[in-house]
Structure 1
């Protein structure tokens, strides 16, 4: 049996259904105001950002059970721009992170050879498909080597050493459990 791309796209779940309509609309409104994009494009890029966060969250959950299951995935430039907007809307972003990962999904800007070569994106796409959500090829297929981060940006692949908070907060990665 052969499944066409159109049928496969219809079978995949709409990422918009992952969060309440009011939250999706709020993220879309924020993005549209800053980027001056059409309603259709905005809804699609917000949806793909949710697909990416869902995949990242599942990787985090799996890695807590088995650290060897951790894999670094990366967004494309347009998806990353939507992620930046979502990060600023904390009343929406924090519940998304908690729902998808049981912790905060942190953003660590980086540009490295793994991204420039396309290896990071090639590794990312199968994890997006594993979510069962619609993966819009326009936002993933031609984006090899893109990042929100300028070329001089590098934090050792997201493994930068953080300093002490001097007792104000726990040292190391901070996770909120509910």
Structure 2
């Protein structure tokens, strides 16, 4: 949470906590369903970035989930937002057993929660089916 707050001056602890919680849900869903093409929203990606910066903690998290979830950031591009990927991601997270904080999964141009994260992912098929995906294209879980 502190990393999210540090990267987003003025953000309150409650919002940072919600962002990190959604990032944890995303990572769990990506690890549990590695062949489903999912990606975080721009807001949730901020929480994922914060988790990844704490490498030992993130590695232990992924180990506990049974699969390392890699992060391949894409350059900012307002044309890249893919609502179908976000809807599929939300459904996958719900399938993993979590409720979605809908306010944090909106179109980046319509969100009420501003964050410093600039990458927006389009998602990809992951695991062994991700062989045609190049780094820089998507968020994926690996074997």
The question of 1:43 aligning with 2:17 is answered yes
The question of 1:31 aligning with 2:4 is answered yes
CA contact (8 A) 1:73 1:121 kept: yes
Select the structure that is richer in strand. 2
1:7-26 superposed Cα distances (whole Å, 9 cap, x missing partner):
xxxxxxxxxxxxxxxxxxxx
| Helix, strand or coil at the partner of 1:106 | strand
Change (3 A) 1:174 1:43: closer
Q: Unmatched 5+ residue regions in structure 2?
A: 111-116, 136-140
Tell me the CA shift for residue 144 of structure 1.
Answer: 6.4
Change (3 A) 1:115 1:59: farther
- Rounded to whole Å, the distance in 2 between the matches of 1:115 and 1:55 is 22
Change (3 A) 1:42 1:29: same
Tell me the CA shift for residue 110 of structure 1.
Answer: 3.4
Q: TM-score, normalised by structure 2?
A: 0.71
| CA RMSD across the alignment | 3.3
Select the structure that is richer in helix. 1
Across the two proteins, how many residue pairs are aligned to each other? 123
Q: Unmatched 5+ residue regions in structure 1?
A: 1-27, 61-69, 162-172
Q: Which has the larger radius of gyration?
A: 1
Q: RCO higher in 1 or 2 (8 Å CA, sep ≥ 6)?
A: 2
The question of 1:143 aligning with 2:116 is answered no
Structure 1 residue ranges, 4+ long, deviating more than 6 angstroms after superposition: 144-147
1:81-100 superposed Cα distances (whole Å, 9 cap, x missing partner):
11111111012111111122
- Rounded to whole Å, the distance in 2 between the matches of 1:80 and 1:94 is 17
Tell me the CA shift for residue 128 of structure 1.
Answer: 1.1
Name 2:41's counterpart in structure 1: 76
Tell me the CA shift for residue 149 of structure 1.
Answer: 2.6
Tell me the CA shift for residue 134 of structure 1.
Answer: 2.7
Name 1:57's counterpart in structure 2: 31
The counterpart of 2:57, out of the listed 92, 106, 110, is: 92
CA contact (8 A) 1:118 1:145 kept: no
